Chain A
Amino acid sequence: MLEPMMYEGGVYKHNLIVELVEDLGGYILQKNIMQTEVVMIMLVPMKDTHLVEDMTKKLLGELTRAPLSGAEVAVVAPTLAYHHLPHLDCDIAEFLRRKGAKTNMVGLSRGVGSRICQINAYERDLINEHDLAVYIFGNFKHCITESKPKLFEGIEIPIVVTGAPEIAADGVKNADVYVGNLGRVAHRMRKGDEMHAMDRMVAEVGKILDKLREDIGKDQQSVMPPRVKKEIEDQVPEIKQVLSPLPITLRLKGLKVKLDYDEFHEKIGEVFFVEGIKLKDIAVINRSNMKNFILVDIKPKSETGYVI
């Protein structure tokens, strides 16, 4: 089992951590260097975490668990107007990122209003590409329980809803869980109860993702997504030219490769493993709704018959 962890520390000698994790058979999922600071999200074999902890102490860094690592979360706002952004939505996205998730903010084109709100097919497909969606709603109970559930139509992934009023966790139709105290506000989240509500939201997201991982674990994936990521990085040199902060994004079911689909999907399919298997044999390679990227869904063992 691999443990998702986040390392925060100085740039000086951080390579020692990278090498240690790779030597232990772990993976570096994301490395962000900000001037003299570095933040790395990585997967470390569970029984060797103490080695990484010791090294972190030596480098005067900080090691925390990042339970949301390897998941892509959609943060959905009714629109991208100043009524919703930047405070609440960005704070929620940032909180999810700090726990290791990759977040994408989705602003619906016509998500506003109670009777008039709607979601279109493209938005629906885009949201369905993620592992989980966090819908951020407003301050009125009637609106959240009666009008907005329209926006969940056709969404197949788990849904977490936030809003201001206190509603039972299962009080919103077709949503998995509701988290209160996070309604529409026009200031930054910094008060105690707001921070507490954010922590609750992250905890709920973590719980759902753990359950999803458990479900996937029952019928194991033919190959672990982080291994595919490493093989793509080694075999497709063009990925190094991609300027996105995360050229290969991990999802629970597979990964998203930020290269043009038409040009590169065959090349991605040809990526091979030392066991003599090509990626296209054990994964479905699709076009992503997001900027024509490549979406890789890894097939489970029940379909391929083996795990590498």
Chain B
Amino acid sequence: MEEDEKIIVESPGEEVGAIVYKQVISDVLSDLALGRVIEKVRVYVDVTEPCFIFVGLRHTGQASVHIKDFADLEIGEYGKHQVLIKLNKEAYIPQLLEKLWERYGRGNIIHEERTLVAVETPDYMDEVDILSEMVIDEKAGEIDDRIVDSMLRIIPEGFRVRYHQMTKDYILFVASEDPIKQEWKERAQAILDKLLGEVRSNA
């Protein structure tokens, strides 16, 4: 079924162009590891106008990573004003240290053992709760950046006038080298509505 295809590129009078462009899109999405993030893509290109319309549906994003997700926190030994972070996973160490240095200063972070980070702070009783809720890796924000990057790579380079909508469900881009016409926006909206309708009817 055509509706089930992941990427469809439509371009009146440019059959070869549409096929190659589909390849470009799938290359860019896989380069930026967005294959699982973007569910369905519909593209309409008319080079005589010229206009380029890109509509993509997104999967709902992953949750952010907090310190408590990968570490146990406790107060340091008696007499020491410290919070101890015992790491269960080493994957987030770089981002964690970056955040801690920013908040407490480099001198107050003691990282002598691989899986143990000590934070020197006078308010250690309060900080231990704040720290456990601290967001270390914001997946959603990073994915948004990657999606925007992929858009800029996919859109023909000369098309510098752009109109876009980006929500957690979909991305819509209209690009051209001339001012964006209302009819292009309407066409984009129609493609989006159709795509959303398909998804709902499948659900």
- Which positions in A face B, CB cutoff 8 Å? 78-79, 81-84, 112-117, 138-143, 164-166, 183-187
Within 8 A of A (CB), among B1-19: 11, 13-14, 16-17
Instruction: Report the interface size for chain B: residues with CB under 8 A from the other chain.
Output: 24
Give 8 closest A-B pairs by Cβ, nearest first. Answer: A113-B158, A112-B158, A186-B27, A139-B17, A140-B17, A165-B16, A112-B157, A139-B20
Contact status B156-A187, CB under 8 Å: no
Chain B positions 80 through 114: 1 when the CB is less than 8 Å from some CB of chain A, otherwise 0? 00000000000000000000000000000000000
Closest Cβ–Cβ distance, residue B29 to chain A (whole Å): 10
Given contacts A113-B177, A116-B177, A142-B13, contact A183 B20 (CB under 8 A): yes
The contact sample of 13 A-B pairs, CB cut-off 8 A, is A83-B157, A84-B157, A112-B156, A113-B157, A114-B158, A115-B50, A139-B16, A139-B24, A141-B16, A142-B47, A142-B48, A184-B20, A186-B23
Contact status A83-B20, CB under 8 Å: no
Within 8 Å by CB of A184, from B11, B24, B50, lies: B24
Q: How far is the CA of A107 from the CA of B141 in the complex (A)?
A: 33
Closest Cβ–Cβ distance, residue A241 to chain B (whole Å): 40
Within 8 Å by CB of B153, from A79, A142, A165, A186, lies: A186
Contact status A139-B21, CB under 8 Å: yes
Main secondary structure of the interface of A (DSSP, over half): loop
Which of B17, B23, B24 has most chain A Cβ within 10 Å? B17
Contact status B47-A143, CB under 8 Å: yes
- Which positions in B face A, CB cutoff 8 Å? 11, 13-14, 16-17, 20-21, 23-24, 27-28, 31, 45, 47-48, 50, 153, 156-160, 177-178
Q: How far is the CA of A43 from the CA of B168 in the complex (A)?
A: 63
Complex contacts, B177 vs chain A, CB 8 Å: 113-116
Q: How far is the CA of A140 from the CA of B24 in the complex (A)?
A: 13
Complex contacts, A83 vs chain B, CB 8 Å: 153, 156-157
Given contacts A114-B177, A185-B24, A186-B28, contact A138 B156 (CB under 8 A): yes
Closest Cβ–Cβ distance, residue B159 to chain A (whole Å): 7
Contact status B158-A165, CB under 8 Å: no
Within 8 Å by CB of A165, from B17, B50, B157, B159, lies: B17
Q: How far is the CA of A183 from the CA of B20 in the complex (A)?
A: 8
Closest Cβ–Cβ distance, residue B133 to chain A (whole Å): 39
Q: How far is the CA of A116 from the CA of B21 in the complex (A)?
A: 21
Contact status B158-A185, CB under 8 Å: no
* Chain A residue at minimal CB-CB distance from B153: A82
Complex contacts, B153 vs chain A, CB 8 Å: 82-83, 186
* Chain A residue at minimal CB-CB distance from B31: A186
Contact status B50-A114, CB under 8 Å: yes
Complex contacts, B13 vs chain A, CB 8 Å: 141-142
Complex contacts, A114 vs chain B, CB 8 Å: 47, 50, 158, 177
Complex contacts, B17 vs chain A, CB 8 Å: 138-141, 164-165, 183
Q: How far is the CA of A114 from the CA of B31 in the complex (A)?
A: 27
* Chain B residue at minimal CB-CB distance from A143: B47
* Chain A residue at minimal CB-CB distance from B178: A115
Closest Cβ–Cβ distance, residue A171 to chain B (whole Å): 13
Complex contacts, A184 vs chain B, CB 8 Å: 20, 24
Q: How far is the CA of A82 from the CA of B27 in the complex (A)?
A: 13
Contact status A164-B20, CB under 8 Å: yes
Complex contacts, B178 vs chain A, CB 8 Å: 115
Closest Cβ–Cβ distance, residue A76 to chain B (whole Å): 15
